[in-house]
A and B are shown apart, each in its own frame.
Chain A
Amino acid sequence: MKQGDSEVKGKVPVKEGLFPWPLPHDGSATLMGSHCEGCGQSFFPKRTLCPECQEGGVMKEIPLSQRGTLYTYTIVRQAPAGFEPPYATALVDLPEGVRLFAQLTTADPDEIKLDEPVELTFGPIARDMAGNEVISYLFRPAKAR
C-alpha cells in the first residue's frame, strides 16, 4: 500500500482488494474476481471459499472482463451522506457469469439503454468522512462491436 504517494493523496479505493491500487495510468486495470476450478463458477468480489464447493474447491484469482451488458439501472436522487445526487446505479452482467452492482458514468436516461454493452472505467463516486475522494469502478455506455 503506497499511502502518501502523491498520486493517491486525497483519494481512497472504495474497498481494498477489488482492483489494483494505485490504479495504473494506461487503462489496463481490471476488477479482480475468483474462479472455482471445482464447479466453474466465478465471483466478485474475490472469495477464499466457493459457497458451493467450500473446502473441496480450488479458488483461482482471475481478472474480469472490462465489457459487460447493462441489465437494469436507476437514477438515485435522494442519496446517503457523501454521495452527490443525481447518479445512476446499475446491474451489469459480465461474460464470466458475474453480476456487478456499480455506478454509471452518466445520469442521463437518454444515454442509458438496457441490454446494451457497457465498459469499465474508474473514478470518484463519493467523499468519505475525512474528505477524501472515494475511487471505484464505474461503467459507461459502449459502442457495440
Chain B
Amino acid sequence: MRPLILILFLTSLLFGYEKGDMLSQEIQDRLGIKTEKIYVIDFFASWCNSCEKEIPYISQVHQKVDPAQVEIIGIDVDKKIENALAFQKELIAKEALTFRVINDPENEIIKEFKPIGMPALFYIQDKKVVEVIYGAVDDIDEVIMADLERLKR
C-alpha cells in the first residue's frame, strides 16, 4: 500500500494544477490570494505572440470588473527580467496592460501550475482552480466575462 501512495504522490508532482486542485500555501502567499475574490491568473511572456495579442483584451476585462470581486494577475515568465520589464513598459505605454504583473524569471510559479500551452489562464476561487483555458482564444474578453458571470453565481 505504501509504495502505491508514494507513486501516487510522485505522479501528482509531475502534473500541474488542474480544475479542482487547491493552491499551495506558498503560491497563495506569492500571488496574494485571498478567499473573498475570484482571481484570473494569466501566464504570458514577451516572446509569446498569442499572449501579446490577448493582453489588451484581458486589460479590458480588468477595467470592466469590480476590483472587490475579481482580480486579474499577470505572470510574466520571461527568463530575462530586462525583456520582461521592457515588454510590460511598452504595453503600459499603449494602455494595453492595466492589471498587476508578477515577474517569474526563475519560472518557480509556472512550474507549480505547469500549463500545457501558452497563453494560459487559471481561474481561482476559494483558493482552488475552478477553470483553466490554454492557448489563444478568439474574443477572450467575452469568454472571461461569461466565465466570471458563471462563477459568481
Q: Is chain B a partner of chain A in the same complex?
A: no
Which residues of B come within 8 Å of A, CB atoms? none
Spell out A's residues near B (CB within 8 Å).
none
